[in-house]
Amino acid sequence: MNVIITGATGMVGKGVLLECLDHRSVEKVLVIGRNPVDVTHPKLEQLIQNDFSDFSTTKEQLAGFDACFLCMGISSVGMKENDYKKITYDYTLALARELFALNPEMTITYVSGEGTDSSEKGKVMWARVKGKTENDLIKLGFKQAFMFRPGFIIPLRGIKSRTKAYQFMYDYFMWLVRLFKTVAPNAVVNTTQVGKAMINCALYGYNAVIIKPKDIIQLADK
């Protein structure tokens, strides 16, 4: 299986990347990003893409793939809706449309979030934008499309969050997250489980499009 990953310099994307590089069913990994990842591996290729709104000059490098794991995202804190939508929705759909034209039989997974608003009409800005992104990705017509909505995520394998507030929480309050997991074991996942779940979705499919923490845990154990 040949896969594409976006957002591989982020916490979730880095976790997905490491699992793909380790997995025997993954033969090739293309990472698309503005900055290179600090990983070297025989399976790994990197495409530096400065403009995520236009893939016309690099589309030849996007053909021949079986899955795309869309992990690129930013925090909405302090952002205006138009700016957040440009990065979250516009950039994601620009790539997805190009991929569908080249690889209509591929599987895509998109990292959304617990609380995403599928109605696109709620009061929470980020939830509306994520909801529209999910809905329009599903409508494109890929062979398989899965929307991942993890809740709390524990970073493993030395991975750090690029969002300072999140990393602060992991550094000083991980004990609280782990305590919460003992109370609600199906509400907390880790980066390894997310990566394995995405791979298994692409390889074996799943009986739901919206992938919640409990689904991630089940998929990771396949």
Where are the extended beta strands (E) located within the chain?
Answer: 2-6, 28-33, 44-48, 67-70, 107-111, 144-148, 152-154, 188-190, 210-211
DSSP state, 158? Answer: T
Query: Is the CB of residue 206 less than 8 Å from the CB of residue 215?
Result: yes
CB burial string 178-187: b at 16+ within 10 A, e below: eeebeeeeeb
The overall average pLDDT reported for the chain is 91
Q: What is the DSSP string of 181-216?
A: HHH-GGGEEEHHHHHHHHHHHHHH--S-SEE-HHHH
Rounded to the nearest angstrom, the gap between the alpha carbon of residue 156 and the centroid of all alpha carbons in its chain is: 16
Query: Is the CB of residue 118 less than 8 Å from the CB of residue 105?
Result: no
Rounded to the nearest angstrom, the gap between the alpha carbon of residue 188 and the centroid of all alpha carbons in its chain is: 16
How far apart (Å, rounded) are the C-alpha atoms in residues 199 and 150? 16
Domain 2-220 has CATH 3.40.1160.10: no
Which of 81, 74, 208, 200 has its CA nearest to residue 138? 208
Confidence of residue 151 (pLDDT cuts 50, 70, 90): confident
How far apart (Å, rounded) are the C-alpha atoms in residues 34 and 97? 19
User: What does the pLDDT average to over 203-212?
Assistant: 97
Confidence of residue 83 (pLDDT cuts 50, 70, 90): very high
What sign results for the dihedral spanned by CA atoms 40, 110, 123, 168?
A: negative
Give percent of the chain with pLDDT exceeding 70. 90
In degrees and rounded to multiples of 5, residue 113 shows phi and psi of: 180, 150
**pTM for the full predicted model:** 0.91
pLDDT at 176: 67
Confidence of residue 179 (pLDDT cuts 50, 70, 90): low
Confidence of residue 21 (pLDDT cuts 50, 70, 90): very high
In degrees and rounded to multiples of 5, residue 19 shows phi and psi of: -70, -35
DSSP state, 61? Answer: G
pLDDT at 204 over 60: yes
DSSP H or E run through 55: none
**Among the listed ranges 52-66, 158-172, 176-190, 197-211, which one has the minimum average pLDDT value?**
158-172
pLDDT at 128: 97
pLDDT at 161 over 70: no
